[in-house]
Structures are given as C-alpha cells and as structure tokens.
Structure 1
Amino acid sequence: MTIPIILASSSERRKQLLSLIGVTVDQYVSPTVDETPLNDELPRQLALRLAQEKARAVAAEYPNHIIIAADNVVAVGRRILDKAETDDDVKRYLTLLSGRKNTVYTALSICHPSGKQSLKVVETKVTFKRLTASEIESYIQTGEGIGKAGGYAIQGIASKYIKTIQGSYHAVMGLPVHEVYQVLSGWGNIN
C-alpha cells in the first residue's frame, strides 16, 4: 500500500522537482519554523536542523503520512547568506560571491509513519564568474534574487554568471531529487 506524501513546503520549485521523479504529493503544508541561526551554528548544521524541525512539525500533525522536508543554506566559508530580503541584500551577496565559490548545503529530512527517518545533507559548490558592477545592478533589477538564499536563483537569470557547479544542480534549486528517490524507492513508496 502506498502511503500518502506531504511536502513540508509551499515551494513551487520543490513541487516541480518531485513531479520530475514521479512522486505524487497529496498535500502541501508549510510549517512555521524560526530560521534564525543559533550562536556558533555552522551552515551545514543549520540546514540539517531546519529540515528536521520542518519535518517533525508536520509529522506531528500528520502521523500517517510520509513527510518530505528540505532546507537550503548558502555559505561562503562559515558565513551564512540568508534569504535576500532587499535589493541591498542581493547587491551585498553578489558582490561577495563575485569570482568566488560558495557552498549550498541542502538538507533533506524524510519521515515515515513507522518512525523511520532519513536525514541527508547534500553539499554543492557553485562558482560565480567575476561580476561587474553593471551585471550586479542588472540582476538586481530583475527582482529574481529577492527571497532566495544567497540572493540568487541558479535555475534563472543568474545561471549565466555561474562558471561551475560541483554537486547536485537540483539540490541547489531546492531538493536533492536523487536522494529523495533513493529513500522513497527503498521504502517501497515509488517506482
């Protein structure tokens, strides 16, 4: 018997990525979780903690469902680049990312009604070309970076500034689809 699946997110990208691998989501629930980093919390730890908290919050309400939760944290070294809320944030982040490598930590937490839980963190290195002031300003004008961790969307206009990706493109978009597939197929919940 197939167990119904809830995506603990309202992200359209994550919905699309799940549909790519044939996962039928029965419901979307966006949990309220404080995303403020704890004192001295490293980027990888933050991503993992947030994914776990999101999954647990939804699993508590829906104990008979499989819950899929994920969280992305963009970092340069130990410095966490939150979701850009303003044009100034996008400018500051892109100036920092210009000509540099950043790491995107995508944490995945999948909970099964039996109590099984799968936790994974996928690390992807993204290298930007050296950006000119006019390229940064042009990108800001698109509005694409607002609401995005690190101030950019890899699947959008920012893709033209990205020299290399080492790791999972889909994880940077929001969900490591290979890892989701591996867990759900191992649990017999996907073909």
Structure 2
Amino acid sequence: MDSREQDERGGQPVVWTVADTAIGPLLLAATPAGLVNVVFHATGPIRDRALARLASRLGTEPVEAPGAPLLREAIRQLDAYFAGERRDFELPLDWSLISGFNRQVLRELAAGVPYGSVVGYGDLAGRVGQPGAAQAVGTAMGANPLPVVVACHRVVERDGGIGGFGGGLETKRALLALEGVLPQPLF
C-alpha cells in the first residue's frame, strides 16, 4: 500500500521487527509517533496474530523494517537493559493502542515505579485516584501494549504474590530477578 492509500484509509505507517532477547523473541512495532507495541514469544502464529491485530487497530499493514531507526534504538536499549547496563528506556511511545483508565494507569506506572522496585495493584489504583480498583489495574496490566518498556512486571499482589503476567510467570520472574527484586530463578 502506498502512502496515498494509507491516507485514504486513515492509517499511519507501522514498521516492525523481531528482536532476540534474554526472555525470548519480542516483536517491536513503531509508528512515526513512537514505539507502539511489544509482543512476547513473537514467533510463527503469535507474531502473525499480533501483526494482524496491529493492521486492524491502526488501519494499515505493518511493514517489516529491522533497519528503521526507532526499532534499531529500541533493540539497542533492550540489549543494554538485559545486560544490566540500562535502567530506563528513553524511547518515544505511541499510546494509541490504549485509552482511558488503562492509559492513565500505565502512564503512572511508567513515570512512578522505577527500576528495581515494585508496586501493588491496589497501591497503583490509589495513585491514579481510584482506590479499590485493584482488579481494574490488573486488567490494565494485561492490556499493556508496551510490556518491558512500560514495566508491568513491576506490579505485584498486596500479599507478596507475584501476580499474573501476559508474558508468562517465568518471564515475570526473570525480569524481576534482572532488576534485583527476586533471586535469580533456579531454572
């Protein structure tokens, strides 16, 4: 599809690549506004479903472009993060896949829960002025289109339980161990 056709459909260009990381392949997708999506376990059918979902939501077919500057920079920062050399991501983010309460919660998470710390679902709900909305915060974490970069792995249960995670509990444990919150997994 050329840019004129994209304009007619209302879509914006979307580029993507798959990065090999310490937690497995991550699909990274970006628009001109910024990184728009990170998807765990991005091989075969999972990658294809994620790309189809992006096409549907953003109104244009994503184009594989591993050399795109923003994707190259995202991979560089992810590599540094997994090597223990980076604590914060400095990437433009496109929040267009999320709105309302979910966006509010994820923005608070990104701004207010630093590397190496955790927050409870209920505490995060209170930070956005919705005490008692712990379940809704859990839903927002599950809808996070930018995991790892917007660190939903840092949200845990009030009683000390690890909680759920879209990338799988082993992945959540590995990310928390990397940040020094949990001991390194035994396997």
Is TM-score (shorter-chain normalized) higher than 0.5? Answer: no
Structure holding more strand per residue? 1
- Of structures 1 and 2, the one with the larger relative CO (CA 8 A, separation 6+) is 1
